Amino acid sequence: MRLLVTGGCGFIGSNFIRHVLKHYGQTFVTNVDALTYAGNKASLDDVVVEFGERYEFVHADISDSGAMDALMKKEAFYAVINFAAESHVDRSIDSAKDFIQTNIVGTSVLLDCARRHGVKRFVQISTDEVYGSLGSEGKFTEKSPIEPSSPYSASKASADLLALASHKTFGQEVVITRCSNNYGPYQFPEKLIPLMLLNALQDKPLPVYGDGLNVRDWIHVEDHCAAVVAVLFNGKPGEVYNVGSDGEMRNIDVVTLILEHLGKPKDLIRYVTDRLGHDRRYAIDSSKARAELGWKPLHTAERGIRETIDWYLANEAWWKPLLKA
């Protein structure tokens, strides 16, 4: 079985490729990535060494229909798993252009090419941010209305709707996952956990938006990858599956945990002007995925975050070059 993974040099994509090749011995993976600022081939150096010919890298842009057509004509792929995305909210607020091109146009191109070339399954990797913000109670379900707050989440919601339309119009086997906040190895330093811990290691200020009381449901990337595999093989076409770990933590508590684990003082924290349109709380109801797919997360948030900090401490060779870029 051959899989086409897009955005495989990014955080979640690289962990997914490693997970699949490790656990499914007859699987071959083609990774297509444009290598924009957050794509890092070094995240898969160990995969190249360990899995050899079962892994292939193609440098291309998913919005390039000619390149995607040529790729899918060359190989018979069982599925496309679309991780490729511009994903940083702050960058989308500065300019939405790249988010529209990659997240919307790119998804449309992939859907069309996959359909033309007989790819059986299409897994669209989305986000809980398409639902907008929650109050102090309740959780997002797959039936929650889509109410994106940022250009980033709006672009992901648009891609989801295109994917669902391809299923309804053409009968394409599309399945969508909407996951909560990921953490774990190989995450680009602009995201909360690696940003805070790498700043703390250098005794730099830790910028915390607003009052720091925004709540996120934190899930370890390995648990997310296992859920994507479950959806790939057993998800029902045309369905959405929420993926969460019941790991709600306030941002300030995550930052404090990092400082405590590193033995750094809390006076490194600097409260800064809040992000525009900053959603107050996310929480995911993943009971559908657990009941229908037999999936469940294996990491608790606090233990998983501590293990992630230890990974960064042990892998300076991976992250130090990123700080110089």
pLDDT digits (tens, 9 = 90+) for 253-270: 999 999 999 999 999 999
Average pLDDT, the chain: 96
Domains and CATH numbers, the chain: 2-187+219-246+278-300 (3.40.50.720)
**C-beta separation of 245 from 220 below 8 A:** yes
Query: How far apart are the C-alpha atoms of 274 and 297, rounded to whole Å?
Result: 31
Q: Scanning the structure block, which residue is given the tokens 């200020």?
A: 205
Q: Which of 33, 61, 86, 129 is catalytic?
A: 129
Query: How far apart are the C-alpha atoms of 303 and 261, rounded to whole Å?
Result: 11
- Strand 206-209 relative to strand 269-272: parallel, antiparallel, unpaired? parallel
Output the pTM of the full model: 0.95
pLDDT band at 325 (very low <50, low <70, confident <90, very high): low
Query: How far apart are the C-alpha atoms of 220 and 88, rounded to whole Å?
Result: 18
pLDDT number for residue 236: 98
Q: Which of 55, 152, 186, 282 is catalytic?
A: 152
Residues 6+ apart with CB under 8 A from 277: 93, 149, 150
Answer yes or no: is pLDDT of 112 > 90: yes
Answer yes or no: is pLDDT of 104 > 80: yes
pLDDT band at 70 (very low <50, low <70, confident <90, very high): very high
pLDDT digits (tens, 9 = 90+) for 114-139: 999 999 999 999 999 999 999 888 99
* Token reading at 13: 């994509």
Would you call 128 a catalytic residue per the annotation? yes
Q: Which of 33, 61, 86, 128 is catalytic?
A: 128
Would you call 129 a catalytic residue per the annotation? yes
Query: How far apart are the C-alpha atoms of 309 and 117, rounded to whole Å?
Result: 43
